[in-house]
Amino acid sequence: MPPKPLINPGRRRLLAVALASRLGMPGRLAAAPHLHTRPIPASGERLPAIGMGTWITFDVARGPSPTPSAALTTRWQVLQAFFAAGGRLIDSSPMYGSAEAVLGELLPQSPGAEALFSATKVWTPGQWLGEQQMARSRDLWGVPRFDLMQIHNLLDWDAHLPTLRRMKAEGQIRYLGITTSHGRRHDDLATLIRNEALDFVQLTYNLAHREADTRLLPLAAEHGCAVIINRPFDGGRLFDQVRSHPLPGYAAEIGCANWAQVFLKYVISHPAITCAIPATSQPAHMRENMGALTGPLPDAALRRAMAARFDRL
């Protein structure tokens, strides 16, 4: 049985009117400065090195139609700030509550969303359930196909990988990948990178958690696998660790006006990393985060110094 469409097109139109009247119609995209982009090894297609995550931050109530909730209006502003700064890759999952439905409501109202690189996940055991879940995600997002479909936390990966390969061959997805986080199952992920010709892997890497440096990142580069970095702020904990510390002197050298940009530039300056996906519920934070897409990046020597200094905090 085909999955039921969950987004009501009438609700989308009403929402567009309500958002426009609450906030005024958005302006055009500003002329973009030079942005840091990285090639996807499987195709050479370039992606901006900062994308966005949606776990927790986009799992919000949508409010009764036609009045969007205040939370929904704020997420619309987050999306506007993201696309206005040249963002493309948005990562979600059926695990993230209402996040996929919220994206499906807001993307049609978001200027710049035609540049979207849609990335979600399959997160259920079994091939049949996986196919149903992916079809439902497509309906929720309102996209004809996903750019990237990932197997969430390696869950039943050997059941889903053949499906993803078939979907890719049929043009239903453009890339396939596998995710993990919090340093879990790195041995399994290393084996999959070696044996399964993955287009993408997604894993955790940040100034406090650099375990991937030694094996996974070099392995991904060797096998032509694009790398998405989740939890680039360690779920927000990095900000707590530096709360009583002023910005270091090197921040100005690499064009960082705040700690968020320091944390993100540390991540995206790793040569094996394609894209970091910080999550935020706040438009001002999104503007800060997207600031890491421009200006100088630390070289290898400064990266080592940044890590050593962070370890001494």
Ligand X SMILES: NC(=O)c1ccc[n+]([C@@H]2O[C@H](COP(=O)([O-])OP(=O)(O)OC[C@H]3O[C@@H](n4cnc5c(N)ncnc54)[C@H](OP(=O)(O)O)[C@@H]3O)[C@@H](O)[C@H]2O)c1
Binding site residues, ligand X, CB under 6 A = 53-55, 57, 91, 152-153, 179-181, 202, 230-236, 239, 260, 277-282, 285, 288-289
- Least separation in angstroms between residue 160's CB and ligand X is 14
DSSP assignment string, 105-166: HHGGGSTTGGG-EEEEEE-SSSHHHHHHHHHHHHHHHT-SSEEEEEEGGGTTHHHHHHHHHH
Nearer CB in complex with ligand X: 111/235: 235
**What are residue 101's DSSP bridge partners?**
none
Residue 292, CA atoms < 13 Å, CB-side half-sphere: 28
Nearer CB in complex with ligand X: 18/96: 96
Residue nearest to ligand X (CB): 53
- Least separation in angstroms between residue 234's CB and ligand X is 6
- Least separation in angstroms between residue 32's CB and ligand X is 20
Distance CA 277, CA 2 (A): 32
Nearer CB in complex with ligand X: 124/153: 153
Distance CA 201, CA 215 (A): 13
- Least separation in angstroms between residue 184's CB and ligand X is 8
- Least separation in angstroms between residue 235's CB and ligand X is 4
Nearer CB in complex with ligand X: 119/219: 119
Decide: 126 and 160 in contact? Cβ < 8 Å: no
Nearer CB in complex with ligand X: 138/209: 209
Distance CA 153, CA 178 (A): 7
- Least separation in angstroms between residue 30's CB and ligand X is 20
Sheet-wide strand order for 117-122: 89-91, 117-122, 146-151, 173-179, 200-204, 226-230, 275-276
Nearer CB in complex with ligand X: 118/179: 179
Q: In the block, which residue shows the tokens 């991540």?
A: 267
